A and B are shown apart, each in its own frame.
Chain A
Amino acid sequence: MFSHLFKLIWNKKKQNALLIIEMFISFIVMFAVFTLVVFSYNNYKQPMGFDYNNVWVINFFPPENITRNDSVSMFHDELKKTMLAMRQIEEISFTGNNVPFSMSTSNSSINYGSHKNVMANMYQAEETFNKVMKMQMIEGRWFTKADDASKYTPVVINRKLKEELFGSENAVGKVLGEQIIEKGTAENRFRVMGVTENVKDKGSYQAIENGMYIKMDSGWARWSGTMILKVKPGTDAAFESKLFKTLSNAIGTNIEIEHLDKKLVSKNKVMLVPMIIAFVVAGFLIINVALGLFGVLWYNINKRRGEIGLRRAVGATGDSVSKQLVGEVLVLSTISLVIGCFFAFQFPLLNVFDLSAGIYLAAIALSIIFIYALVTLCAFYPGKQAAAIYPAVALHEE
């Protein structure tokens, strides 16, 4: 029966070409959508790598009258002392403005041995940063004040960067370079003090990226207008108000306090926007394809009433006529999917967009299932209608 269906379809290839193209385009669109979905879902499944609950972010304008590095350090120490005196605050760290779930990103290229220009997100952090974030160390340790005397700037890198630069080797003690663009070949040199677990600091759907936490020096501190603090569970708005007043007295105005858990919700919404747009576009396309398929099949059945009557006369049951029509569409969709898969498989083979092959393969599988389900659904009712055609009537009409 399959060879019979192939013959029928092959002999009507011109009529079927548009249908095949329509299903091919649908497959490609669904492949793109499912790639995005699988990619986002894979990211979502990854642990966040830190505890964002009860972590607040304070943004402020550094006081303009404190300009010298030692004065800045004293100001920071005083501010921290004042805040840590509040029993609701467990830990504080000054940091750069690319705090978790913010819209800011800071990155640079790292060199190590044969690995040149490896892009990594750079985070300015203090020695208490990991305690606020409750990050998990997998090698070495977080930097301390004692590391200030080090010849090279102490850094902690994340697991992904470690694996890319060092593979299974121990990263602790290794020296990395960062090219300073404005100074030609000169490099900033960093010593790896430890390796931390990967952190998803751009939202639940973010792909894990290379990360490097650099010990903030007094030069950087001058410009730092951001701190993160861990508060005790259950700390309420009354304390937030009190904290705000305390900070206003110490720093001045333009103080903003944000909660990381709320920032995550809002960041996730932003990250869902492209997916929602993709779903809406794909949804419209699929509705059009479904209506088109349904219409073509419906038209085919009316056009082929004589053939259906004949098949019934020579021994086909209503059920087998219905199955034949559904089978024909499935064969057509198989042809479309074979063509579609040829193009889709180029993505993992050519490593387009630098995604893992598993994501593309899962997206291909999901797209195939989706297209088969769609065409079966669209063919089901016209198929049932064909099964209900009374052979005597159909043959007489012809």
Chain B
Amino acid sequence: MIPAETSENVLQNSHIINHQNVMISLKNIEKVYRTDTVETLALNNISLNINKGEFLSIMGPSGCGKSTLLNIMGLLDAPTRGEVSIDKHDTTQLNDKKLAAFRNRKLGFIFQSYHLINDLQVLDNVELPLLYRNSSAKERRQLSIEALEKVGLSNRMKHFPTQLSGGQKQRVAIARAIVGQPEIILADEPTGNLDSAMGSEIMDILLQLNERDGTTIVMVTHDENMARKTHRLVRLFDGTQVQ
């Protein structure tokens, strides 16, 4: 369990960049995957600023580096070269413990395949991020119920993920992403496994989170219609930003 103070220390100790309103700043990001014989350039010199409260979508063909870019923004992967700053804090030099605390406090993740733990009930799945904070069981329960109410799933709290539809699963994943009240949500093809009606429902929840709570959202998508609903669209091709 990560003590609450850790993330505060991270915020105090990391280098502060002076750009007003920038929530995520990527500077000259390069990502190279190496094997014994092959070297693959996944991202090539990407620089991108995402403002507070912005809803940005990333599009591009399969294998162009969208998810890699999202993982780097989410501090799940480290760039081979370049700098990643989140909320004006340089994250490049942070160790595993500080990165984990940063992810826990600042970021929420939504995945195409939901990544719910099938052996835990919906409520327990939602409170997962809070387990890595110094919060009481009562507080965790309260926040989780509130998050589930926001996504309209308070009547499914005691269900297991296997008892839910795809759309419901994704709503649980959204509740899990927002339960810790992060400033940023990173969504990797959140509607990719859903039909269009379900997809629209999920998109509406994300738009609502962005508009009502001012949450910064970065979404990877293949769906032009979904992308059009966001504030800004970034297109990647072969690891390079083309739009």
Contact = CB atoms under 8 A, between A and B. Distances in A.
A312 B117 contact: no
A312 B105 CA distance: 13
Contacts of B96: 317-319
Nearest to B104: A315
Interface stretch (A4-12, A81-89, A335-343): A4-12
B239 to A, nearest CB: 16
Contact of B76 (A3, A7, A313): A313
A395 B104 contact: no
Given A320-B1, A395-B76, A314 B128 contact: yes
Given A7-B124, A315-B104, A317-B100, A398 B132 contact: no
B113 A398 contact: yes
B77 to A, nearest CB: 4
A383 interface: no
A315 B76 contact: no
Contacts of A310: 109, 115, 117, 128
Contacts, number: 82
Interface residues of B, number: 33
Interface string A75-96: 0000000000000000000000
Contacts of B111: 395, 398
Interface string B1-20: 11000000000000000000
A329 to B, nearest CB: 16
Contacts of A12: 119
Interface in A1-43: 1, 3-4, 7-8, 11-12
Main secondary structure, interface of A, reads helix
Given A309-B115, A391-B76, A398-B115, A1 B137 contact: no
Interface string A296-311: 0000000000110111
Interface in A262-320: 306-307, 309-320
A183 interface: no
B103 interface: yes
Looking at A1, A8, A310, A311, the one whose CB has the most chain B CB atoms below 10 A away is A310
Interface string B89-117: 00000001100110111000101010101
B157 to A, nearest CB: 14
Interface string A317-329: 1111000000000
Nearest to B124: A7
Contacts of B32: none
A11 B122 CA distance: 13
Interface string A369-398: 000000000000000000000111001101
B67 A396 contact: yes
A320 B1 CA distance: 6
B115 A315 contact: no
B25 to A, nearest CB: 20
Contact of B120 (A11, A316, A398): A11
Contacts of B77: 390-392
B103 A320 contact: no
Interface string B67-81: 110010010110000
B133 interface: yes
B129 interface: yes
A392 B76 CA distance: 5
Contacts of A320: 1-2, 100, 132
Given A320-B2, A392-B71, A4 B131 contact: yes
A306 B109 CA distance: 14
B117 A313 contact: no
A316 B137 CA distance: 17
A319 B2 CA distance: 10
B176 interface: yes
A315 B67 contact: no
B128 A311 contact: yes
Nearest to A314: B129
Contact of A312 (B100, B113, B124): B100
A313 B97 contact: no
A310 B119 CA distance: 14
Looking at A3, A313, A316, A396, the one whose CB has the most chain B CB atoms below 10 A away is A313
Contacts of A390: 77
A12 B118 CA distance: 10
A317 B105 CA distance: 13
A7 B103 CA distance: 25
A8 B131 CA distance: 13
A172 B133 CA distance: 74
Interface in A135-152: none
A313 B132 contact: no
Nearest to A315: B104
Interface string A165-209: 000000000000000000000000000000000000000000000
Given A7-B120, A307-B117, A320-B1, A314 B103 contact: yes
B58 to A, nearest CB: 16
A315 B2 contact: yes
Interface in B1-56: 1-2
B100 A316 contact: yes
Contacts of A396: 67
Given A4-B124, A307-B115, 7 more contacts: A11-B120, A310-B109, A314-B109, A319-B97, A392-B71, A395-B71, A395-B76
6 contacts: A8-B117, A11-B120, A310-B117, A315-B2, A319-B96, A398-B111
For the complex of A and B, 10 pairs with smallest distance between CB atoms = A315-B104, A315-B132, A392-B77, A314-B129, A392-B71, A392-B76, A317-B100, A11-B119, A310-B115, A391-B76
